[in-house]
Amino acid sequence: MDCTDSTSSGHVSKKKSKTKKLKRTMKAVKAPVEEMDQAECEVKEEKSASGPCFPPTFSVSEIKNKQRRHTMFLKLKEEKRKKRMELKKKKKKERKALGDKAPPKEVPKTIENQRIYDETTVNPEDEEVAFDEGTDEFSAYFNRLTNPKVLITTSDRPRGRTVRFCDQLATVIPHAYVYYRRGLALKKVIPQCISRGFTYLMVINEDRKVPNGMVLCHLPDGPTAHFKVSSVRLRKEMKRRGKNPTEHSPEVILNNFTTRLGHSIGRLFAALFPHDPQFVGRQVATFHNQRDFIFFRFHRYIFKNEKKVGIQELGPRFTLKLRSLQKGTFDSKFGEYEWVHKRHEMDSSRRKFHL
Cβ pair 258, 122 in contact under 8 A: yes
Exposure class string for 328-353: b at 16+ Cβ within 10 A, else e:
bbbeeeeeeeebebeeeeeeeeeeeb
User: Within a domain: residue 267?
Assistant: yes
180 shares its domain with 84: no
Q: What CATH number should be reported for the domain holding residue 140?
A: 3.40.50.10480
159 shares its domain with 217: yes
256 shares its domain with 335: yes
Query: Are β-strands 224-233 and 200-207 bridged in parallel, bridged antiparallel, or unpaired?
Result: unpaired
State which residues form the domain around 73.
Answer: 60-101
217 shares its domain with 94: no
How high is the pLDDT of residue 23? Answer: 56
Q: Which residues contact 53 (CB under 8 A, 6 or more apart)?
A: 47
> Nearest Cα to 53, choosing from 30, 72, 67?
72
Query: Are β-strands 283-290 and 251-255 bridged in parallel, bridged antiparallel, or unpaired?
Result: parallel
Query: Are β-strands 210-218 and 224-233 bridged in parallel, bridged antiparallel, or unpaired?
Result: antiparallel
329 shares its domain with 292: yes
Give the three-state DSSP class for 193.
helix
Length of the chain: 355
131 shares its domain with 213: yes
pLDDT, tens digit only, all 355 positions of the chain: 444 444 444 444 544 555 555 556 555 444 444 444 554 544 444 444 445 555 666 688 888 888 999 998 999 899 999 999 999 999 888 888 888 888 888 888 888 888 888 888 888 778 888 888 888 999 999 999 999 999 999 998 898 899 999 999 999 999 999 998 888 889 899 999 999 999 999 999 999 899 999 999 999 998 999 999 999 999 999 988 888 999 999 999 999 999 999 999 999 999 999 999 999 999 999 999 999 999 999 999 999 888 899 999 998 999 999 999 999 999 888 889 999 998 888 888 888 888 8
Q: Is the pTM of this model over 0.85?
A: no
User: Within a domain: residue 207?
Assistant: yes
132 shares its domain with 180: yes
User: What distances in angstroms separate CA 165 from CA 108, 212, 271, one per listed residue?
Assistant: 38, 11, 21
User: Within a domain: residue 121?
Assistant: no
198 shares its domain with 334: yes
146 shares its domain with 65: no
What whole-number distance in Å separates Cα of residue 170 and Cα of residue 204? 12
What whole-number distance in Å separates Cα of residue 138 and Cα of residue 128? 16
Q: How many domains does the chain have?
A: 3
86 shares its domain with 195: no
User: Within a domain: residue 298?
Assistant: yes
254 shares its domain with 145: yes
46 shares its domain with 191: no
User: Within a domain: residue 352?
Assistant: no
